[in-house]
Structure 1
Amino acid sequence: MLFPSEVSYFVSGSVVAIVSVLVWYYRRNKHTLPKLHYVDSDLHRHILKSKPGFTSPYRPPFWLQNNHLHTIIATFVPKTKVIFKREYMDLDDGGVVALDWAQDGSERLSDKSTILIVLPGLTASADDVGELCNMASKRGYRVVVFNKRGHGNSVLATPKLQGFGDAKDMRRCVEYVREKNPAAKIVAIGSSAGSGLLASYLGEYGADCILATGVCICPGYDALELFTKRMNFIYEFLLLKSLKKILKKHAKVLSPLLDLDAAYRSTRFMDFDTHVYCKFYGYEDIIEYWKYNNPMRNVLNSSAPVMCINSMDDPICVARNIPFDMFQEKSDWLLVTTNKGGHCGFLEESTLTPWSDRIALDYIDAVLEFQGAEIEQ
């Protein structure tokens, strides 16, 4: 049994210990600024001058210093609910792609309002990027989420799922949006696998990409290394489980082409991609598939300004694959890295909202401002 004085000492000691930990944390992270990798240019000077977020600290919650915990918790943090209106876009081969248009605040927008195409992660959907869509809508963007064939709980009209780096459907989406909105600029933000698709698109279509600018959040860069070597078994299991769920949803359409049982038994991406995507595209093996689907295959051909955001503790798209030298060669590409953030987490301590979403929109705002000023001159 504790006496009152002992209880008092215990409580006081606990408070002192907690305060000491918090003081240590804040001192340690006081100058945790994002690191910027870029070629000096008028564009980058404008961005850094006009957007203070690039030169301000990113502060993750003190209890989310572990990269795995940060990554996992970020998926469970409630997302802002956004109302979407679904539209199916026809493709040349008879397939369809679902486009989810954010409705919140749309009545305030005009036919000249910039359109933001959001490319979610490997198996994510519009609801998973609700925070970004909400934030962008409040800034005056018309937001549309691009769902790959059969993804986002959409129908699958033909026996084919979109390959990791196949940008043809993305191309049709961008052309369709431009045809319907000729007075509007078009920009894009991709997360994780969505950033791989965006990089593939920008490299493949170069100066004809139509997009004014783009942001890649947690890109993996070297997809061959990422998907043919052993990933952390927890992430590989969870991601494959989500992909298999999509296969099962469309089993009736896909069964004539695929050995679904073999795909379901796959425990590695290397095996799954062999049984699924190699069959769709007729590749002989997984190495050939990733040769033609690696997001960085044509990156030097890209012409639009791009920002990439990476966390140095990302447990999936690991830091060793970041091509730092490239950002010292391409004058219109900017890399922002943080010490913490996990994979597509970047939660901020004060709001538990993604810092990466805010900085991505800051970048796009600044690029559009700069491009507008150039036109006026």
Structure 2
Amino acid sequence: MDLRMLSRELSLYLEHQVRVGFFGSGVGLSLILGFSVAYACYYLSSIAKKPRLVTGGESFSRFLQDHCPVVTETYYPTVWCWESRGQTLLRPFITSKPPVRYRNECVKTADGGQILLDWFDNDNSKNYMDASTRPTILLLPGLTGTSKESYILHMIHLSEELGYRCVVFNNRGMAGENLLTPRTYCCANTEDLETVIHHVHSLYPSAPFLAAGVSMGGMLLLNYLGKMGTKTPLKAAATFSVGWNTFACSESLEKPLNWLLFNYYLTTCLQSSVNKHRHMFVKQIDMDHVMKAKSIREFDKRFTAVMFGYQTIDDYYTDASPNRRLKSVGIPVLCLNSVDDVFSPSHAIPIETAKQNPNVALVLTSYGGHIGFLEGIWPRQSTYMDRVFKQFVQAMVEHGHELSNM
């Protein structure tokens, strides 16, 4: 068959397809079905995987398998959005914001400052009607987050179902309150967190007391636990999407695409948060220079490190990295991270250190991004992270005593 004959046959075929319709011929449907099958095979073989559970002791591993089975079950990321950046960007817009009515409390600090706590007392709890023994969960939001973040609201909603009480630790100046002293916050300085933990425990000394930190909130929590060892009233803790090594986090976020999608935006949020209190800092910090920062590292160099008395940005980042304190954690801690998280690159996750501490469990998913962990076709009401949080806090409240007997 010559080229002319081939062209004529192809033309006749296409004309016929147009007349009967693409799907009417069965070709379009076959292509779609073929693609769907191929994608399903790829998804099930390469995307949907069980997380890697790394523990420093066999007893903690058995405890989690018995009472927190979600950490050993296959995680099925949302089929149309499993890539790291997509998960990270879409979660705030997709997930719902359960309504929560807070009770506000200002806690005074030793230096004359104040910290705003948002309480969800759960006075209608049927499981724990006695407020003095009602389990209390302290929640720590991320870098520029507050009690209004969707992931915090979901944790409170899940705690409400369990009958627990929650209190959200808002970093200084972040929840609308005035700064009384020229000081904000950083994940290396744990003084404010120590004040809050002591205060909450003094109010309900007989209640089981746990904490959960997200992103920078988790870094702060781990640095606190590493400093305190066993000398903390917390019974257990959980962290989500923690940046383990601040240098590695900064390097990853400064890659061109990550800078464009995340770094620059977060930098402007940090600048906005301190610019509201600009008059408090002008005597000690060049605020004009701070407002010209183009990255989180530049902001930290010009503002955070100066405020907290570090000689260099390297000194601050070394002190802020929780990987160096993980070996000193003295209570059960579960840490959920995704290995595709651009905020916390996988090579910086302290796997070998975790293996040396019987109190530590790392749960590492292949996908999930940063505070993403979306699952299901339309992940509005729940995420994998939510399920890990709920099962772990319930396990520690109801069965934590078993760990000491293992």
1:71 corresponds in structure 2 to 88
Which residue is 1:342 aligned to? 369
Residues 272-281 or 140-149, more deviating: 272-281
Shift in Å at residue 284 of structure 1? 1.6
- The equivalent position to 1:171 in structure 2, one of 168, 191, 194, is 194
Q: Which runs of 5+ in 2 are unaligned?
A: 1-14
Q: Deviations over 1:216-274 (max 9, x none)?
A: 11111111332367353121101111101101211222233321110110112232112
Instruction: Report Cα offsets for 1:266-289 as digits up to 9, x if no partner.
Output: 112232112212221222211122
- What is residue 61 of structure 2 aligned with on the other side? 44
Quick one: which amino acid aligns to residue 8 of structure 1? G
Deviation at 1:297, TM superposition (A): 3.6
- Equivalence for 2:178: 155
Contact 1:33 1:58 survives alignment (8 Å): yes
Q: Work out which of the two has the higher radius of gyration on C-alpha atoms and give 1 or 2.
A: 2
SS of the counterpart of 1:183? coil
> Are residue 127 (structure 1) and residue 148 (structure 2) matched?
yes
- Using the alignment, how far apart are the partners of 2:99 and 2:45 within structure 1? 35
Of 86, 92, 95, which aligns to 2:104? 86
- Distance, in Å, in 2 between the alignment partners of 1:5 and 1:204 is 70
Residues 1:8 and 2:28 are matched in the alignment: no
The residue type equivalent to 1:221 in the other structure is: W
CA distance in 1, matches of 2:364, 2:59: 21
Match of 1:115 in 2: 136
Matched, 1:237 2:264: yes
Change (3 A) 1:31 1:69: closer
State the AA in 1 paired with 2:259.
Answer: F
For residue 221 of structure 2, give the secondary structure of its aligned residue in structure 1: helix
* Structure 2 residue 166 is matched with structure 1 residue 140: no
Give the RMSD, CA atoms, in angstroms.
2.3
Give the SS at the match of 2:133: coil
The residue that corresponds to 1:214 in the other structure is: 237
Letter of the structure 1 residue corresponding to residue 179 of structure 2 = L
* Structure 1 counterpart of 2:115, from 91, 94, 97: 97
TM-score, length of structure 1 as denominator length? 0.92
Count of aligned positions: 376
Q: Does residue 1:61 correspond to 2:78, yes or no? A: yes
SS at match of 2:322: coil
| Match in the other structure for 1:276 | 303
After TM superposition, the score normalised by the length of structure 2 is: 0.86
> CA offsets, 1:149-204, max 9 Å, x none?
11133321111011221111000000000111111121111111111000111011
Deviations 1:73-125 (A, max 9, x none): 0122232222222211111111011111125x432242211111111110011
Please say if 1:191 is aligned against 2:209.
no
Q: CA deviation at 1:29?
A: 5.7
**Structure 1: 5+ residue runs without aligned partners?**
none
